[in-house]
Amino acid sequence: MTNQAHIIDTIIKERRSIKKFKSDALSTDEIIELLEVAKWAPNHKLTEPWRFLLFAEEGKETFIQAYTKSQMGADQTVPEKAQKKAAYFRQIPIHLVVVMPEHPRQKTWDEDYGAVSAMIQNFQLAAWARGIGMIWRTNDWIYDPIFREAIGVKDGEKIIGTLMIGYADFIPEAKERTSIKEKLTIINE
Ligand SMILES: Cc1cc2nc3c(=O)[nH]c(=O)nc-3n(C[C@H](O)[C@H](O)[C@H](O)COP(=O)(O)O)c2cc1C
């Protein structure tokens, strides 16, 4: 195996989803640099079907307020569980929301979803190679019109995920993966 192959295999296998972050700041320039790498993902007809909302420093409050607003009960109070989650989100250096246009044609929609997912994985791997961790989240509230509107997602756009990003404070053990032989049918005659 070449050294290059070994490096990329290791990054792919050792990347983990990170939930505990150090308080060390991450600059928006660093995120932009990583996105400049990630954008080299395959995308059919080079439509580059992604858009990003980057919440950093004071701007994180817009993301957090959007979340708490979406969790409010009829009495306009934020449940304790959501308040705790908001406090946790506040400690995370960067929140990046990845958005895709919802194309009316199913084929294009599927291709776009595939392209954005490939781009996000590129982003995760490029970040991991630099010691930066994240978690890709698709919680119920990303579908909530209250949350969407409060962060500036337009009608006809789909949130593919919220990426919560920072330097890893704890790297969890890898969860086992099934042998590919159990998932593979070889047809060779
Ligand atoms: C499309 C997608 C959505 C995800 N949504 C969530 C989520 O909402 N909450 C969460 O804790 N992890 C989420 N994850 C992360 C997975 O749980 C994680 O990748 C999986 O447990 C394997 O762990 P690893 O990434 O460390 O290998 C998501 C991953 C993907 C690809």
pTM above threshold 0.95: yes
What are the angstrom distances between the C-alpha of 61 and each of 18, 34, 91, 125, 145? 21, 23, 11, 27, 18
H or E, element range at 8: helix 3-14
Predicted pLDDT of residue 80: 97
d(CA 21, CA 53): 20
H or E, element range at 48: none
- The three-point CA angle 114-118-123 to 5° equals 150
Tell me the domain boundaries of the chain.
17-182
Tell me phi and psi for residue 24, to 5 degrees.
-50, 135
H or E, element range at 95: strand 94-101
Task: For tokens 């995920």, name the residue.
Answer: 161
Which protein residue's CA is at the shortest distance from atom 12 of ligand 1? 137
Predicted pLDDT of residue 161: 98
Weakly modelled stretches of the chain, pLDDT under 70: none
Predicted pLDDT of residue 126: 98
For 120-145, b/e burial (b = at least 16 CB within 10 A) is bebbbbbbbbeebbbbbbeeebbebe
Check if 138 has its Cβ closer than 6 Å to any atom of ligand 1: yes
Predicted pLDDT of residue 1: 83
Check if 175 has its Cβ closer than 6 Å to any atom of ligand 1: yes
* Closest approach atom of ligand 1 to CA 160: 1
Say whether 113 sits in a helix, a strand or coil. Answer: helix
Say whether 47 sits in a helix, a strand or coil. Answer: coil
Choose which CATH entry (3.30.365.10, 3.40.109.10, 3.50.50.60, 3.10.20.30) describes domain 17-182. 3.40.109.10
Check if 137 has its Cβ closer than 6 Å to any atom of ligand 1: yes
Residue type for 25, please?
A
Predicted pLDDT of residue 136: 98
With a CB cutoff of 8 Å and minimum separation 6, the contacts of 109 are 102, 103
Positive or negative: CA dihedral 43, 44, 46, 52? negative
Instruction: Give the Å distance between the CA of 138 and the centre of ligand 1.
Output: 8
Check if 139 has its Cβ closer than 6 Å to any atom of ligand 1: yes
Predicted pLDDT of residue 176: 96
With a CB cutoff of 8 Å and minimum separation 6, the contacts of 69 are 146, 147, 150
Q: What is the CA radius of gyration of the chain?
A: 18
Q: Tell me: the pLDDT tens digits for 112-160?
A: 999 999 999 999 999 999 999 999 999 999 999 999 999 999 999 999 9
